[in-house]
Amino acid sequence: MMPLLTTKGLSRNFGGLRAVDGVDFALMPGEIRAIIGPNGAGKTTFVSLLSGRIRPSAGMVVFDGADITTMPAYRRVRLGVAYTFQITSVFANLTAFDNVALPVQRTLTDGRSKGQVRNGVMAALERTGLADRAGTLAGQLSYGHQRLLEVAMGLALKPRLLILDEPTQGLADSEIDNFITLVREIAKDATVLLIEHNMPVVMQLADRITVFNFGKILAEGTPEQIRANGQVQDAYLGATHD
């Protein structure tokens, strides 16, 4: 099976800082992959390069066999790459329904009946547990529900690759359980790449884990392999987490 996404020598410099430093990476179709690492390790910069939010200083990104290194973010979205931000980017003065309607309309290129839009929106809201808040202004939702609304907006794009940056931040414990179920459901139709600091979530969800440190990949493997990796314990698991 061919990888859905690969990077070769991917790098991004900010002045003298190499935030991402020569990364070779491969993501298989249908996989749930977690990216972990200390703060400042380059995780968010890396997924921003994958989604097209920033351009690399060097290297390449290949999605489904096509070189997308210089492709702008909106064109990557059309190819099926959806990205939810570390900081919520919902439209506070629109309802939850209208927030999701915007990406739904992008997917309906041929004739957009109100019924089609409504069905697409409600399906995404139901999957994320927000259907009963469809009429609520996004700015009035709790922070955790705003994060889920972002996931709904990503799902509405019908992505082949859904990139989630700190998706459980702000969620209550009960919501985290539902989120784990949701991601497993999403992975039946799409590949999921998530940056996550909540290690119990990572260990439950991920098929494989990639560990970043100082802009490079320190280790990759199954949750069991990563848990047992001495380098990872020194750099991350032992040092920064209970």
Report domain extents, the chain.
Answer: 1-80+159-242, 90-156
pLDDT at residue 139 in the model = 95
pTM: 0.88
- Taken in order 28, 53, 34, 23, the sign of the CA dihedral is positive
Of 105, 125, 129, 106, residue with least CA distance to 117: 105
Are 183 and 192 a contacting pair, CB within 8 Å? yes
Between the CA of residue 225 and those of 43, 190, 209, 233, what are the distances in Å? Answer: 20, 25, 9, 11
Max Cα-Cα span within the chain:
56
CATH of 1-80+159-242, one of 3.40.640.10, 3.40.50.300, 2.40.30.10, 3.20.20.70: 3.40.50.300
pLDDT at residue 147 in the model = 86
Quote the DSSP letter at residue 234: I
Are 134 and 97 a contacting pair, CB within 8 Å? yes
* 156-195 per-residue burial string, b: 16 or more CB within 10 A, e: under 16: bbbbbbbbbbbbbeebeeebbeebeebbeebbeebbbbbb
Q: Over its length of 242 residues, how does the chain's per-residue pLDDT go in tens digits?
A: 899 999 999 999 998 899 999 999 999 999 999 999 998 899 999 999 999 999 999 999 999 999 999 999 989 988 999 988 655 678 999 999 999 998 888 777 655 678 889 999 999 999 999 999 999 999 999 988 998 999 999 999 889 999 999 889 888 888 899 889 999 989 999 999 999 999 999 999 999 999 999 999 999 999 999 999 998 888 776 644 43
pLDDT at residue 241 in the model = 41
